[in-house]
Amino acid sequence: MKKIGIIGAMQVEIDLLIARMETYENSTVAGFPFYTGTLFGKDIVLTRCGVGKVNSAACTQILIDRFNVDCIINTGIAGSLRKEIGILDLVISSDVTHHDVRKAQMKNLFPYQESFIANNRMIVLAQKACETLEVKPNYHFGRIVSGECFVSDTRLKETIINEYSPACVEMEGSAIGHVAFLNNIPFLILRCISDQADDEAAMSYENFEKLAANQSAAVVLEMIKMM
């Protein structure tokens, strides 16, 4: 990969990555900050897209058009949707989709995709990164779903599980995968679990937000090192 794009929704999700960049220049496009420089000698464009699918879609298209990235990694935190996926576990995306868009609409309207498939080479690289870290995190593979709400309701959680059988839920990944698909750009969504997406999610999120964000970023750093 010649130039690697990295997206985090919030500042806490990219702070560790900024701190590790050898050099960077900061620019702003449409209100999004872009840090262009090097990480382990690789050309990197790091950005913060803000929360939500509209923000992440707009930011991803700018990352592709203006900065000509060859692949995209989305790093951040999420709520677990499987009993076996615990707090601070990693989820490596197999595919992504919108949990707040009907399946029929996804299938029958442009771009005629029920989900967007993550790049297999990047999936393997993320697994190797998890295995290489000194303190190896628990990691899982599976579908990641996104919607324009923070899921902190057990009934909504069960509805999403029954409809999509996902590993975790967040608010940006499916839009990033959607835009990457439209542009034929390889992508991977990587998430570390901060909460269980249930009635206790808000409290858990506050306690584990930074730890989870840094855990995901640590895996991204290892991936870049091995690229």
User: Which residues are annotated as catalytic?
Assistant: 13, 195
Helices 53-67 and 173-182, packing angle to 10 deg:
40
Per DSSP, 28 falls in state E
Collect all residues with Cβ–Cβ distance below 8 Å to 164 and sequence separation of at least 6.
97, 99, 143, 145
CA distance 215 to 104: 36
Collect all residues with Cβ–Cβ distance below 8 Å to 136 and sequence separation of at least 6.
130
Q: Where are the beta strands (DSSP E) in the chain?
A: 3-8, 23-29, 32-39, 42-48, 71-80, 90-98, 116-117, 139-146, 168-170, 187-195
CA distance 73 to 84: 24
- Report which residue type is found at 215: Q
Sort residue 202 into left (φ over 0), alpha (ψ -120 to 50) or beta. alpha
